[in-house]
């Protein structure tokens, strides 16, 4: 039986050279070390808990137990404990010797810091005292220096003020000297420089200096402008300006008399000199503006030379079309509109050939013709603004005015190239009160025309009924006239300056389409019993035509632009769902979709009624054939055209003969008489046209 201490030990390897006792000693030492380490931890814990005797008892019990042979471990255990004790004592001694050094070093550092801090505080106190003493000593000097600086600044301001006055007076003297020597170009250039100085001084608070500068500019501007205007008007008079007659009958303006080169040279010289006064003229002259309610686009004043050229025409216009003159008739707006167009036409050639080269030479981008037209347009706008309130509630006069204005605008833009971005008559018609009245009158006359076209005898007859190639849709006259009416309305409002106004007209058009649809529905209901009748079919053709045209218009650039404008308005007002806004933005829907859907629904209902009617008629007609056989009639009627022609020829050539019977039998006819077959063949409607 093996010893108690060796129970459970693994057998030694065959190649191991150690004895069993040596292995046992090593293992025991290892166990003692582990136990000692564990014991140290427990000692600490038990020491903390104040129960050291209990720990010692437990350790001996664990290491020795009831096995007396294990007592020999006590020496080694005591030895290990002694070593651990010595190690712990060494650690305690090391730590106890290092900590005071660290503490002493920290205290030393703190003491040094305290000394430095005290030194800094002393320096700060001394410096603070020195600064206060210096400030008290320097305070009188600072007050004296501040007063002197203020005096210097005041003197500098006075000096600058005097320099400005001196400069203004010097420029004024120069202008005077130039005028005395008749050097008008240099005088004009000096005035331009003075006007630019005036503009720079606008931010100054020196009101008297500003007033002096402005008065000086105004003084010399008036003198130069009057002198140059007088000379310029004299040259224009030699050219017989303005040209009241058409260009073909003008004798001097574009002709070349002996003195023409000198006249045109003087014209160019004076024109350029007047052009130099533009800066000071804009500075001194308030531009004439119509009230803000007309929302005219901002634009600079007409250039000074052309203002002078426009003066005689402005006088003529005001003379003839204001006050109690016989030519000032409120019911005849075409008189003054035609007069303005004639003036533009009469002067276009001269402006393009004689004035525009001068403007190009001085490097300006101004168009002489457009500036001239813009100046005359202001006369028209003033006249319209004065006349419209007087005829606003007379439908006939107001409608006539609008018609004439639209014709005037069309010719002005198409013939004379007047830009739509400039102030024009459409801005006057877009004023709120006038515009709402225009919408009302437009609706009223459109409804009257709709009544007229639907009550016409030819309302349901196609204009091109006899020309099949032209009228495949069989469009009745009322539908074509109605769409022409909508097209005319579009042409009337498409040049309005703002998208919001155009959208209001678009709503009017949609209302008219809906009203016309309702009228067609009412007439259709009266014709329901005759759903295959002429009028019912004409109504169906009208609905289909209107729906088709509206779908085509939806792809028109003008209406696509309105769709984009409507999208922005709807997005701002939150009047549509996100889905509807997305459809509009992606062009999946159009501005006419609501109307097209209603028309398509009406068309579907009408077609359904027709189909039901045809079905009932066929059903009623078929009842007569319930008791009859002979199928053979259907065979005859459904034969191919070629077979039917061949059968017809055989029956005609071999009447009553066996070949005729054989031919009938070949196509499956055994009971029908030959005469009945011939009658059925003659009833066919799809015979080719043989020219017989």
Cα–Cα distance list, 505 to 77, 385, 452 (Å): 113, 22, 22
Name the residue with higher pLDDT: 353 or 30: 353
- pLDDT (tens digit per residue) in 100-141: 777 888 888 888 899 999 999 999 999 999 999 888 888 888
Sign of the C-alpha dihedral computed for residues 150, 155, 160 and 164 taken in this order: positive
Ranking 64-73, 159-168, 335-344 by mean pLDDT, the lowest is 64-73
What does the pLDDT read at residue 19?
Answer: 41
220 confidence band (pLDDT: 50, 70, 90): very high
What does the pLDDT read at residue 448?
Answer: 94
What does the pLDDT read at residue 285?
Answer: 86
Q: What is the mean pLDDT of residues 70-80?
A: 76
Residue 528 contacts residue 609 (beta carbons within 8 Å): yes
627 confidence band (pLDDT: 50, 70, 90): low
Find the angle CA(356)-CA(408)-CA(370) to the nearest 5 degrees: 15
Q: What is the mean pLDDT of residues 232-252?
A: 81
Rounded Cα–Cα distance for residues 59 and 639 (Å) = 125
Q: What is the mean pLDDT of residues 565-572?
A: 74
What does the pLDDT read at residue 8?
Answer: 35
Q: Is the pLDDT of residue 178 over 90?
A: yes
Is 586 in a helix, a strand, or coil?
Answer: coil
Q: What is the mean pLDDT of residues 404-421?
A: 94
Residue 320's closest CA among 303, 342, 299, 301?
342
**Hey, which of 42-51, 101-110, 202-211, 677-686 has the most confident mean pLDDT?**
202-211
Name the one residue in this structure whose structure tokens are 């205290």: 107
What does the pLDDT read at residue 249?
Answer: 59
Residue 674 contacts residue 655 (beta carbons within 8 Å): yes
Q: Is the pLDDT of residue 6 over 80?
A: no
Rounded Cα–Cα distance for residues 492 and 576 (Å) = 29
- pLDDT (tens digit per residue) in 274-302: 999 999 998 888 878 888 888 888 888 89
Ranking 49-63, 232-246, 598-612 by mean pLDDT, the lowest is 49-63
Rounded Cα–Cα distance for residues 209 and 226 (Å) = 26
**Hey, which of 82-96, 99-113, 311-325, 671-685 has the most confident mean pLDDT?**
311-325
List, in sequence order, the alpha helices (H) in 239-363: 260-276, 278-284, 304-320, 333-350, 356-361
Rounded Cα–Cα distance for residues 387 and 331 (Å) = 10
What does the pLDDT read at residue 225?
Answer: 94
Residue 677 contacts residue 651 (beta carbons within 8 Å): yes
Residue 242, preceding bond cis, omega within 30 degrees?
yes
Name the residue with higher pLDDT: 36 or 337: 337
Q: Rounded to an integer, what is the distance from CA 334 to the centroid of its chain?
A: 37
Is 328 in a helix, a strand, or coil?
Answer: coil
14 confidence band (pLDDT: 50, 70, 90): very low
List the structure tokens of 526: 């009266």
What does the pLDDT read at residue 98?
Answer: 73
Q: Is the pLDDT of residue 629 over 70?
A: no
Residue 282's closest CA among 209, 201, 195, 211?
195
Q: What is the mean pLDDT of residues 30-41?
A: 43
Q: What is the mean pLDDT of residues 517-529?
A: 91
**Hey, which of 60-74, 471-485, 511-525 has the most confident mean pLDDT?**
511-525
């Amino acid at each position: 039986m093996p010893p108690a201490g060796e129970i459970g030990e693994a057998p030694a390897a065959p190649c191991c050279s150690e004895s069993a006792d040596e292995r046992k000693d090593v293992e025991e030492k290892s166990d003692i070390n582990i136990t000692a380490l564990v014991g140290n931890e427990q000692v600490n814990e038990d020491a903390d808990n104040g129960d050291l005797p209990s720990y010692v008892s437990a350790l001996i019990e664990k290491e020795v137990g009831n096995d007396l042979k294990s007592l020999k471990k006590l020496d080694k255990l005591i030895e290990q404990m002694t070593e651990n004790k010595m190690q712990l004592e060494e650690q305690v001694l090391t730590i106890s010797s290092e900590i005071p050094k660290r503490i002493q070093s920290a205290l030393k550092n703190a003491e040094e810091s305290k000394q430095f801090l005290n030194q800094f505080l002393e320096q700060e106190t001394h410096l603070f005292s020195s600064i206060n003493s210096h400030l008290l000593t320097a305070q009188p000097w600072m007050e004296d220096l501040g007063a002197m600086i203020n005096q210097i600044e005041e003197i500098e301001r006075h000096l600058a003020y005097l320099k400005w006055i001196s400069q203004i007076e010097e420029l004024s003297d120069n202008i005077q000297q130039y005028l005395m020597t008749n050097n008008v170009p240099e005088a004009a250039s000096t005035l331009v420089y003075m006007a630019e100085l005036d503009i720079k001084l606008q931010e100054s608070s020196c009101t008297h200096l500003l007033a002096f500068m402005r008065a000086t500019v105004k003084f010399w501007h008036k003198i130069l402008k009057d002198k140059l205007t007088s000379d310029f008007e004299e040259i224009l008079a030699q050219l017989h300006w303005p040209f009241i007659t058409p260009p073909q009958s003008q004798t001097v303006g574009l002709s070349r008399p002996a003195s023409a080169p000198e006249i045109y040279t003087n014209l160019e010289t004076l024109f350029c000199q007047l052009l130099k006064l533009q800066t000071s003229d804009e500075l001194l002259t308030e531009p004439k503006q119509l009230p803000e309610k007309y929302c005219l686009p901002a634009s600079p004043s007409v250039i000074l030379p052309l203002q002078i050229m426009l003066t005689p025409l402005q006088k003529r216009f005001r003379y003839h079309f204001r006050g109690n003159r016989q030519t000032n008739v409120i019911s005849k707006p075409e008189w003054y509109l035609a007069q303005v167009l004639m003036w533009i036409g009469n002067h276009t050639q001269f402006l393009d050939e004689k004035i525009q080269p001068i403007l190009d030479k001085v490097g300006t981008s101004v168009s002489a013709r457009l500036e001239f037209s813009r100046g005359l347009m202001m006369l028209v706008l003033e006249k319209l603004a004065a006349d419209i309130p007087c005829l606003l509630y007379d439908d006939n006069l107001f409608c006539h005015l609008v018609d004439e204005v639209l014709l005037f605008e069309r010719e002005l833009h198409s013939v004379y190239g007047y830009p739509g971005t400039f102030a024009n008559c459409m801005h006057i018609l877009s004023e709120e009160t006038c515009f709402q009245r225009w919408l009302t009158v437009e609706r009223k006359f459109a409804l009257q025309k709709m009544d007229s076209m639907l009550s016409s005898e030819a309302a349901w007859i196609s204009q091109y009924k006899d020309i099949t190639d032209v009228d495949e849709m069989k469009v009745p006259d009322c539908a074509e006239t109605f769409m022409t009416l909508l097209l005319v309305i579009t042409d009337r409002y498409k040049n309005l300056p703002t998208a919001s106004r155009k959208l209001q007209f678009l709503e009017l058009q949609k209302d008219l389409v809906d009203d016309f649809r309702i009228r067609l529905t009412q007439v259709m209901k009266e014709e329901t019993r005759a759903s295959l009748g002429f009028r019912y079919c004409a109504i169906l053709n009208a609905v289909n035509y209107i729906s088709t045209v509206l779908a085509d218009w939806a792809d028109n650039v003008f209406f696509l632009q309105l769709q984009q404008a409507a999208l922005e308005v709807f997005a701002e007002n939150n009047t549509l769902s996100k889905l509807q806004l997305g459809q509009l933005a992606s062009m999946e829907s159009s501005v006419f979709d609501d109307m097209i859907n209603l028309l398509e629904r009406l068309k579907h209902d009408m077609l359904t009624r027709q189909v039901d009617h045809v079905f009932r008629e066929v059903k009623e007609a078929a009842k007569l054939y319930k008791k009859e056989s002979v199928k053979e009639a259907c065979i005859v009627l459904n034969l191919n055209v070629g077979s039917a022609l061949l059968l017809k020829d055989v029956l005609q050539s071999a009447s009553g003969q066996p070949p005729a019977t054989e031919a009938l039998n070949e196509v499956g006819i055994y009971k029908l008489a030959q005469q009945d077959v011939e009658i059925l063949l003659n009833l066919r409607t799809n015979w080719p046209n043989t020219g017989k």
